[in-house]
Amino acid sequence: MLLLFDIDGTLVQGASKEHARALMQALHNVHGVSTNTISQHGSAAGRTDGEIARLILLDAGVSAERIDERTDDVEAECCRLYATICPPDLSPMVVDGIPQTLEWLSGLEDVQLALLTGNFEPVARVKLRAAGIGHWFPLQQGGFGSDSEDRSMLPPIARRRAGTGAGLGISWPREGTLVIGDTPRDIACAHADGVRCLAVTSGPHGEGELAAADAVARSSAELRAELAALLGV
């Protein structure tokens, strides 16, 4: 089973402040636009960094062509800035029970852990290293905001990276893949690829808003119970 974990709201809570600052500053440095907060452009929950950047820039009057031309520059600047301002210790932000759940999962046979997040990958790696849980998620696996602005593209990317037969295009099977996230966008991206989604209420959305998921866990105990039932352990 391939378990694809979202980060913000799923693995950590309240760890987005410096991330948002880095992205806003990157947009200013690269495009010269003045930005304030992400919230004024709608909820950022479940969006990719690239999508958030595009929405803000379009709202600021930057052309789509210019956005496309400088996409890599924005990503590089955001990652550079975040590496300098990320707090050295984000462990207090880790969702209760997550370290124990990841340790348990890592000890099970035929279970592979990876990330599925809208964060640019360097941001994701720095954030989880500071949180003390990055070692559970191998490099060169998962799907990230640096892979695509469109979150629905991330599950197939992650399945391809986890698949067998390098260079043969043999992806990890859909029936053996589960997305774990905290927003309706996590659910939508999973179902767009034909894979299941286990939603958690540790983020900004309640159980009712996550009803489209294949299952909803309201606590770390419920998360572990749902995973145990799914994995047959």
pLDDT for 169 equals: 73
Which structure tokens are listed for 166? Answer: 């390098």
Q: How far is 2 from 167, CA to CA, in rounded Å?
A: 20
pLDDT for 42 equals: 59
pLDDT for 19 equals: 96
Question: Per residue in 54-93, pLDDT tens?
Answer: 999 998 899 999 999 999 999 999 999 999 999 999 999 9
Q: Is the pLDDT of residue 37 over 60?
A: no
pLDDT for 11 equals: 97
Which structure tokens are listed for 231? Answer: 């994995």
Question: Per residue in 186-220, pLDDT tens?
Answer: 999 999 999 999 999 999 999 999 999 999 999 98
Task: Kindly report the average pLDDT of the chain as a whole number.
Answer: 93
Q: Is the pLDDT of residue 166 over 70?
A: no
pLDDT for 115 equals: 98
Integer CA distances (angstroms), 66 to 41, 57, 70, 92, 130, in order = 19, 10, 6, 39, 34
Structural domains of the chain in order of their starting residue, each with its CATH number: 2-14+90-231 (3.40.50.1000), 17-85 (1.10.150)
DSSP of the chain, one letter per residue?
A: -EEEE--BTTTBSS--HHHHHHHHHHHHHHH------GGGGS--TT--HHHHHHHHHHHTT--HHHHHHTHHHHHHHHHHHHHHHS-S--GGGBPTTHHHHHHHHHTSTT-EEEEB-SS-HHHHHHHHHHHT-GGGS-TT-SB-TTT-S-GGGHHHHHHHHHSSSTTTT-PPPGGGEEEEESSHHHHHHHHHTT-EEEEETTSS--TGGGTTSSEEESSHHHHHHHHHHHHT-
